[in-house]
């Protein structure tokens, strides 16, 4: 009895400490931005919609016909189901995108810290870190990112559409299991990365260093992949700032660890210190986010570990496979362009590095908007608010154009001096200046494709974006870029002509699709998906009890 009382006392103590800590760091500006926090959505049973209702494609029947035991739409969902305006959607989108943009910037800094720390050791170590990070992105991060697009759909729709909110937690567990299975072959590839890089004709010392980097990064890779899933678990509940606060804590620790393990003589490990520091950071960010969920916000959607996560995988896989093609087809094409530039002159390669880094930096804002839009549209579809979902999607498209134009104006205005931010070589600066107008041109298309891709994920239509990306990049743009670059001698201009063409094709295609979406039919699809998941959960739970 004494041990039990002591355990309960310690549990209360730790809970109060973590609540106080996260309340202190998060009860600031971002809390006012969290318009759809977990407290704003009812977690009680809101009633189940019958399958006979879903078979009727009239949206009015879905939203108005109820069983006599079904309560009215909860008060907490009034903000979602009551008619919205474009002004309200603009405010919601802007305020909820901000913490996501900051999160993405902080996540990018984790890898950059290892590059900076190794860059002062020598060129081989720096090149090896860059090569290892590219290898990791192609073989693991892109695949995991594509797989978790299924969570963008399923979690956001289940949070507002399911009567049992713990269905959100079951979806997350299912995703983590599938990601864990995927990681087995990925880890084998990483372990033999040196041999693979040598087979690709990489210089031996460079390949050995990159392979060593990946072996130590392998320690933290599972945590980094899991972090993406848990982050989406929070975002689906409207908790956009949880990962932001975690990374605000973790990023400085990561920078310090990179310095200590690479440079600080008493404990320096040299080259391997960088991936070890990064692996430690990956585990730390996952643990802190889980603690945030347990002790602060987000635990309402977690019903504990469930054997149901091992069942009914097909709906998730149906979304994950096109999601992988959607993400990887675009991600890998940019890596291919970087590889193609390595066959050109040193000036072209340096200019490509500057422009590619700049394009990735300006994409931070559309990326944040896309994540917010994905969850907003998914939440609205889950509570059968077709008109509101349409307005949210349209406003996201407006945001894409506005921020794309701002990025374009920035590159055009600074094109003649922009290169000096990175180098003092006049030839490289001149080459950058000649490419930046093209980079400015595709900013609108890049922003539109990214933001609208988020809306598509909220709809659960990853297949549309996957097809558009495959056609735009691999059937049209990359072949044209190859001919222009290597056959017609356009050099770097040929590469960026192809990329610009791909972005305009993909961006225009996805905008046309969204302008013609039948939002009432999408609500029917959403409710059918959520009800199927709930029925499977109840059926399996009942039979397990028997």
Res 422: pLDDT: 81
Phi, psi (5° rounding) for residue 542? -65, -45
Phi, psi (5° rounding) for residue 463? -60, -35
* Residue indicated by tokens 């991600």: 331
DSSP assignment string, 314-374? HHHHHHHHHHHHHHHHHHHHHHHHHHHHTTS-HHHHHHHHHHHHHHHHHTHHHHHHHHHHH
Res 545: pLDDT: 47
Closest CA to 187 of 197, 199, 179, 177: 179
Token digits of residue 268: 């320096």
Instruction: State the sign of the Cα–Cα–Cα–Cα dihedral 257, 259, 261, 265.
Output: negative
Res 488: pLDDT: 93
Q: Tell me the pLDDT tens digit for each residue of 368-399.
A: 999 999 999 999 999 999 999 999 999 999 99
Closest CA to 500 of 522, 535, 476, 524: 476
Question: Mapping DSSP to helix (H, G, I), strand (E, B) and coil, where does residue 312 land?
Answer: coil
Residue 207 burial (C-beta neighbours within 10 Å; 0-12, 13-18, 19+)? buried
Closest CA to 454 of 172, 141, 96, 175: 96
Cβ contact 509:465 at 8 Å: no
User: Can you tell me the distance from the alpha carbon of 522 to that of 392, in angstroms, rounded to the nearest whole number?
Assistant: 14
For residue 220, give the H/E element and its range: none
User: Can you tell me the distance from the alpha carbon of 100 to that of 405, in angstroms, rounded to the nearest whole number?
Assistant: 21
Token digits of residue 381: 């579809």
Question: Mapping DSSP to helix (H, G, I), strand (E, B) and coil, where does residue 477 land?
Answer: helix
User: Can you tell me the distance from the alpha carbon of 61 to that of 280, in angstroms, rounded to the nearest whole number?
Assistant: 52
Per-residue pLDDT of the chain (546 residues; tens, 9 = 90+): 444 544 444 445 444 444 444 443 444 433 333 333 333 333 333 333 333 323 333 333 333 333 333 333 333 456 676 777 889 999 999 999 999 999 988 988 888 888 788 877 877 888 888 889 889 999 999 999 999 999 999 999 999 988 888 999 999 999 999 999 999 999 999 999 999 999 988 889 989 999 999 999 999 999 999 999 999 999 999 999 999 999 999 999 999 999 999 888 888 888 899 999 999 999 999 999 999 999 999 999 998 898 889 988 999 999 999 999 999 999 999 889 888 887 888 788 888 888 888 888 888 899 999 999 999 999 999 999 999 999 999 999 999 999 999 999 999 999 999 888 888 888 889 999 999 999 998 899 999 999 999 999 999 999 999 999 999 999 999 999 999 999 999 999 999 999 999 999 999 999 999 999 999 999 999 999 998 888 877 766 555 544
Res 361: pLDDT: 83
User: Can you tell me the distance from the alpha carbon of 51 to that of 530, in angstroms, rounded to the nearest whole number?
Assistant: 11
Closest CA to 155 of 371, 344, 356: 371
Cβ contact 238:33 at 8 Å: no
Question: Mapping DSSP to helix (H, G, I), strand (E, B) and coil, where does residue 278 land?
Answer: helix
DSSP assignment string, 132-168? HHHHHIIIIIHHHHHHTHHHHHHHHHHHHH-SSTTHH
Cβ contact 261:269 at 8 Å: yes
Cβ contact 181:144 at 8 Å: no
Q: Helix count (H) and strand count (E) of the chain?
A: 25, 0
User: Can you tell me the distance from the alpha carbon of 233 to that of 176, in angstroms, rounded to the nearest whole number?
Assistant: 11
Angular region, 240: left φ>0, alpha ψ -120 to 50, beta rest: alpha
Between the alpha carbon of residue 97 and those of residues 35, 100, 239, the distances in Å are 11, 5, 11
Measured N-to-C along each axis, helices 242-262 and 86-119 cross at an angle, to the nearest 10 degrees, of: 10
């Amino acid at each position: 009895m004494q041990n039990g009382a002591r355990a309960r006392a310690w549990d209360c103590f730790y809970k109060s400490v973590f609540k106080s800590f996260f309340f202190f760091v998060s009860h600031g500006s971002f809390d006012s931005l969290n318009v759809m926090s977990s407290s704003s959505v009812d977690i009680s049973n809101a009633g189940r919609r019958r399958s006979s209702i879903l078979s009727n494609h009239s949206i009015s029947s879905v939203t108005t016909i109820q069983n006599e035991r079904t309560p009215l739409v909860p008060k907490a969902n009034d903000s979602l189901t009551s008619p919205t305006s474009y002004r309200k959607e603009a405010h919601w989108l802007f305020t909820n995108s901000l913490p996501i943009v900051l999160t993405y910037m902080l996540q990018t800094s984790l890898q950059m810290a290892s590059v900076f720390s190794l860059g002062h050791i020598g060129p081989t170590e720096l090149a090896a870190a860059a090569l290892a990070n590219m290898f990791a992105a192609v073989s693991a991060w892109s695949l995991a990112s594509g797989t978790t697009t299924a969570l963008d759909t399923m979690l956001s729709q289940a949070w507002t559409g399911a009567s049992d909110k713990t269905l959100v937690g079951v979806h997350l567990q299912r995703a983590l299991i599938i990601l864990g299975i995927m990681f087995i072959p990925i880890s084998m590839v990483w372990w033999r990365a040196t041999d693979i890089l040598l087979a690709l004709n990489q210089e031996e010392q460079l390949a050995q260093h990159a392979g060593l980097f990946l072996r130590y990064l392998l320690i933290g890779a599972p945590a980094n992949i899991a972090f993406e899933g848990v982050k989406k678990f929070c975002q689906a509940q409207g908790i956009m700032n949880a990962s932001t606060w975690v990374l605000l804590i973790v990023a400085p620790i990561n920078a310090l660890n990179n310095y200590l393990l690479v440079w600080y003589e008493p404990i320096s490990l040299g080259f391997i210190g960088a991936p070890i520091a990064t692996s430690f950071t990956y585990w730390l960010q996952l643990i802190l986010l889980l603690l945030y969920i347990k002790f602060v916000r987000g635990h309402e959607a977690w019903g504990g570990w469930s054997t149901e996560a091992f069942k009914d995988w097909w709906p998730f896989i149906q979304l994950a496979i096109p999601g992988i093609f959607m993400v990887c087809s675009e991600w890998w094409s940019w890596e291919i362009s970087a590889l193609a530039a390595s066959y050109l002159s040193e000036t072209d390669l340096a200019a490509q590095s500057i422009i590619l880094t700049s394009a990735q930096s300006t994409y931070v804002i559309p990326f944040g908007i896309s994540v917010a839009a994905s969850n907003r549209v998914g939440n609205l579809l889950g509570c059968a608010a077709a008109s509101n979902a349409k307005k949210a999607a349209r406003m996201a498209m407006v945001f894409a154009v506005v921020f794309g134009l701002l990025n374009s104006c920035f590159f055009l205005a600074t094109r003649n001096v922009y290169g000096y931010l990175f180098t003092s070589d006049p030839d490289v600066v001149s080459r950058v200046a000649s490419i930046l107008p093209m980079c400015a041109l595709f900013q609108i298309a890049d922003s539109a494709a990214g933001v609208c891709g988020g809306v598509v994920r909220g709809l659960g239509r990853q297949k549309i974006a996957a097809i558009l990306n495959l056609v735009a990049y691999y059937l049209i743009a990359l072949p044209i870029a190859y001919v222009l670059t290597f056959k017609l001698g356009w050099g770097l201009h040929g590469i960026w002509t192809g990329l610009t063409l791909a972005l305009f094709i993909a961006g225009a295609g996805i905008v046309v699709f969204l302008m013609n979406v039948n939002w009432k039919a999408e609500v029917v699809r959403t409710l059918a998906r959520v009800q199927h998941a709930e029925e499977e959960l109840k059926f399996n739970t009942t039979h397990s009890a028997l």
